[in-house]
Amino acid sequence: MEKYTRWSKGVEILYLSHRPGSKAAQEAENKVASLAESMGIEVVRLSEIEKLEASRKPSIIISLGGDGTLLRARAKVGNASVPFLSVNYGGLGALSELEPEELDGWLPKVLKGDFMVEERALLESENRTALNEVLVKSSEIGKSALITLRVGGHYLFKARGDGIIVATPTGSSAYAFSAGGPLVDPSLVAMVVVPVAPFFWGIRPFVIGDSEVSIIAHENIALVIDGERIACGAREVSVRLSRERAKFIRVKPFSFSGLYRKLESRLV
């Protein structure tokens, strides 16, 4: 996958999201909105609307919060092709491009459309895309689930455990990582499959390419996509790589070593 491309469409609509309960993030949102409006950009505050009307105008998302704030903003906008910039007013900030003290310096260029775009793999399941992961688990709190896993139509295993995570390389630093999965270079196009607390020691996380993962439950399940529980009446969930790509706004170079150091410094 090509590393970066220059954005050439300008910015006509700005979708803004901030971390609930954070006074600093709220104040930053007001500052960003004020500058954008002075530049003639239509500002949509995601916290003030229930449903968005689809638009073909060049748009971007600026998220002021943690990774969860960004994931919720993407889901609400509902268009995987809209580029996004995450400013870390949260905790870990694995998806963040900027820290709060860097925002003022880079914001004018971003609002002018003067930035690069890095494309990354997305997952697709139940007509939704996932930037981080798809989780299948028991629908009952505290109960394990008996699950059969198939990859590319071929049987892999049947086991009981707390669930199955299918993550993107981007999401490999999130829930999948905490469940014992590997940290994968986000520039790769792959899927990370992580059994959560399996009852059999021989079942381990693994990484696969462009194939379909079928998760077949033998009891009622819950489906969670990027932290949001999705209504799912079926007992079989399919996860595959999406043809769409997530678009990260980049104003400075990204490196795998930089992500590793960020995780190391904030998780140790």
Q: N- to C-terminal Cα distance for the chain? A: 32
Cβ-in-10-Å burial (0-12, 13-18, 19+) of 99 comes to: exposed
Residue positions annotated with a catalytic role: 67
Amino acid identity of residue 80, one-letter, is A
163 in Cβ contact with 135 (< 8 Å)? yes
Q: Which residues contact 147 (CB under 8 A, 6 or more apart)?
A: 136, 158, 159, 160, 161, 163, 164, 215, 216, 217, 218
**Residue 31, C-beta contacts closer than 8 angstroms, at least 6 positions apart:** none
Ramachandran area for residue 188 (φ above 0: left; ψ -120 to 50: alpha; else beta): beta
Alpha helices in 154-255 (DSSP H): 175-178
